[in-house]
Structure 1
């Protein structure tokens, strides 16, 4: 009986290993197909597509050479360092072929076949077409080579092993390609291609489980950005004009982008053609809205709101207005501001603690900034003013506790 049980367990183990191996080897076709010689137009299109994917955002350190890698991406499992994408022979992509680059984009595998960590969002980039991947490759090959060795990742056990990564991929990743919806217009499909693929919007705007896998990523219903402690709100069903303004200019009449999204707008979306931004806005507006949060009637001491109002009048009203009305095109309104009224309070607390800085864009070249108050106010005071702002002028978001502020700080 014991031998039979052992045999069954071993058989299941072998079957599981075989399944994991098969799932990780899918999408390996096309590595031997030749690629056409790049033209100047191909390189220019690749530069535009690299902007759309915000490749420079991760593959450039502050003050470093563009695309030379070295930037650390903090994750709950450790730090992943972006590699050198310049055509340097020893440390960059100099010896990579176009099919090998396509395999990295489409199937998340390195030149030598190693599995890549999904901090490189190949779970989204697998949607990118072969032609667009080849154009990005041609652009990267046109860059001046920079000799900068790649830093090894600093991941905790067991996340630092290829076996763990293979299991993760078996659970969460399937190579695929974008399939246009014949029922939708061409601009809707263009927007869907950019949002799901190069834009990799679900990397932030979808909830993640304990192992870092996206939950219901096509809905873009919102989620907490790991480690950074900013909340990427749900975007489905919103006003397409507001979305387009935020993506193109970084500001709208309802507010401005801050935190990680400010960098995305500055480096990526503000450089996109208006037609592409409008297409993304149309697609996002068609998505199912996030479930409305059922806010519990949570009592708050009147003295806390009184303290919050006094702090607001002293530090905030000069810019945001006595009634949270803001100043059109300069300081965002707080009354009715969707970000202020999120169920999650992280963004409001982050702005008070560390300040708010919208990106400089062609449509908003001199954005106004908000100073940080992390040294001027303690946790109880920040909680009080955040609670006041989230409940004043018709806002109805839950109050903020000093403990929540401590967690964000």
Structure 2
């Protein structure tokens, strides 16, 4: 197991967090920026960079120090994600999906499960993600068809999961299944297992995407896959949807932080280019139409950043934060989409060229309005929570 980057001393958390963020910044400048264009363009899994992320301890970013993790707060973790996404958003997905799986074990697992899984997750020795989505089921998780059938002292899983991050290079996944397909309400029949690849469990194919290159998104096939009861999160069936949704709060904060990173990257590119490109005898940043675009981009980015901070603070305080996380995810992801388009317009024809990073930002941003629950779903969550918190 790798040693955490910085030991977590409660008396000096702020300084340690600063050191961690500085280390992440150096890693991005040295090991990521020079290689992004090539790896992203050819959709190559960044093996060496992932190895460096293991050394940094990023696969244990939010795992408690007692299990070998960094034990970062959600607030610091969101800053890490923003900085990574500023350079290459795909990298944040490699450790985020993994950490949602780890969070399910850390928050809901048995003591034996925590001792068995979390040290390996924290070191990156075993990596993976969250397997929820199915070919006929996305937002409506209660409609999943993957089934775990009781068999002796264990279970047999059959079904298909799709669009699973780390599906090819990951070794273990938190898999949501139906253990009682006839249960009413439906969520009472759902359970979450930590499934490690083996006989009956494989990745069938890599899925091609518009953006979000480098990270492998795959289809997972379960065909008579046998798994022990010791891999059932919490040890009791019927709690799976709660376990999955609990992890998605952190996941939505992560996606929101990604949105801030992409929005900031688009703004940075637009500000830089607007001072270099000249039309009608002066830099385009002196044209009022460009100034209005830059002002709106900067305001959207900072507003998104503040919403992420608020959501992360609520998560760290142990409060229910699905509304705050939903607001941050909704606004920040839309900010990323809008800023990437505006940056392309500021660049004109060059923004459409693969020589500049703007076109990559334009391809990456749309994922954020879909991932971890569509923005349409976020609006419903926000509205329902608004009513529940303000009864007449």
TM-score (norm. length: structure 2): 0.22
- Larger proportion of strand: 2
Could you state the TM-score of these two structures normalised by the residue count of structure 1?
0.21
Please state which structure has a larger fraction of its residues in helix.
2
**Structure of higher RCO (CA pairs closer than 8 Å, 6+ residues apart):** 2
